[in-house]
Amino acid sequence: MKKLLSMLIILILVFTFSSCADGKKRYEAESLQVFDTVTKIIAYSKNKSEFTELSEFVFDILNEYHKLYDIYHDYHGINNIKTINDNAGKSPVKVDKKIIDLLLFSKNAYTKTRGKCNVALGSVLKIWHKYRESGIDDPQNAKLPDLGSLRKAASHTDIGKIIIDEKKSTVFLADPKMSLDVGAVAKGFAAECVAQEIALRGYTSVLISIGGNVIAIGAKPGGSFWNVGIENPDNDGKEMPTLQLKDKSVVTSGVYQRYYTVNGKQYHHIIDPEALMPSTYFKSVTVVSDDSGLADALSTAVMCMPYEQGKELIDSISGTDAVWVLPDSNILYSDNFKQYLKK
């Protein structure tokens, strides 16, 4: 549906809001073109043309990342993650540095999260994806994949078999049955790269949200905080904490984002690499971090660990905090989280 919409609507909406300190105005633009989700840019700019230049720049770069990190589609003249998967066990694929950087980052994220965020889990995730899509299309006949085939697929998820040759700028998957799925890290990693590019160009006071992966570049004019709400996983109108941020990222992973229903029970899209089943510890985990890619990797990984283990991991990384929403909707915070809560 989102795909169809994005094909129909080449959408860059620009709204103007009230002016504020130092004569800058608040502008907003939205696009459905990248990462199969809604991307929103909010920035304080001198005038509309300055903002349009910024938003087009951001959407253009994000579009490039979107194509490179796509696992489902081919693009003429581009070697992307799908090309790497298509060549698993056959030959190394020459790729853009943006792919090499993403995969080096992902290997590091795997180590940091003790394997809970694994971009080499493609063979397992493919099975869940197929059952989820059919279950959504035909809810009466929705089924769960059988554990035997998940286990078989899991024997082809060794991240050490992603062979990266930085000098030649190639990637080779050394197991013909393995495949990459970068869904857990791509949006956050791309957001971080874009933020660095726009900060280099001297922009401040910019907020980008890629499907709820939010990155704040600088503060609002005058130095005040951005207010970013945490989504309520129950969507029941209960108020959730609002965060006050400057130069930070906030990323949420949740069971409500993508799921299907089998025999009245919901099965979502974040798969515990050990259980090979959707994680069951929380309704959502929100991570605040200086690095958007890390926040994305951690939010997915921490969904797959008990609270004590996740908290230990989060508290061990400086500048990184988290909020856990438990199955009974109670909320837990990491040690230093309260500094972000709106007073």
Give the residue, chosen from 209, 296, 314, 334, that forms a contact with Mg ion under the rule CB under 5 A: 296
Say which DSSP state 318 is in: T
Nearer to Mg ion, 51 or 69 (CB): 69
Are the C-beta atoms of 209 and 291 separated by less than 8 Å? Answer: no
Nearest to 164 by CA among 108, 222, 242: 108
Binding partner at 82 among Mg ion, ligand ADP, none, C-beta below 5 to 8 Å by kind: none
When the beta carbons of 252 and 334 are compared against ligand ADP, the nearer one is 252
320's contact among Mg ion, ligand ADP, none, with CB below 5 to 8 A by partner kind, is none
Q: Which of Mg ion, ligand ADP, none sits in contact with 117, Cβ below 5 to 8 A by type?
A: ligand ADP
Residue 122's binding partner, choosing from Mg ion, ligand ADP, none, with beta-carbon cut-off 5 to 8 A by kind? none
Looking at residue 141, its amino acid is N
Kindly tell me the burial class for residue 7, based on how many C-beta atoms sit within 10 Å of its own C-beta (0-12, 13-18, 19 or more): exposed
By CB under 5 A, which span of 36-44, 82-90, 119-127, 288-296 interacts with Mg ion?
288-296
End-to-end Cα distance, the chain? 39
Count residues binding Mg ion (CB under 5 A).
4
- Residue from 54, 120, 182, 184 touching Mg ion (CB under 5 A): that is 184
Q: Point out the residue whose Cβ comes nearest to Mg ion.
A: 300
φ/ψ (deg, to 5) at 91: -155, 155
Query: Which residue, 46, 319, 60, is CA-closest to 197?
Result: 60
Among 118, 209, 300, 334, binds Mg ion (CB under 5 A): 300
E strands, the chain, in order: 13-19, 25-31, 39-45, 93-94, 162-165, 170-173, 206-210, 213-217, 226-229, 242-245, 249-254, 259-262, 265-268, 284-289, 321-325, 331-333
How far lies 155's CA from each of 58, 132, 300, in Å? 39, 22, 21
Summarize as ranges the residues that interact with ligand ADP (CB under 6 A). 116-119, 121, 125, 181, 183-184, 187, 211, 253, 257-258, 269-271, 273, 296, 299-300, 304
Complex with Mg ion: residue 296 or 321, whichever CB lies closer:
296
Residue labelled with tokens 């809604």: 38
Residue nearest to ligand ADP (CB): 183
Shortest CB 190 distance to ligand ADP, Å: 12
Residues 221-280 that bind Mg ion (CB under 5 A): none
Q: Give the nearer residue to Mg ion in terms of CB position, either 179 or 300.
A: 300
| 215 binds Mg ion, rule: CB under 5 A | no
- Interacting residues with Mg ion (CB under 5 A): 184, 296, 299-300
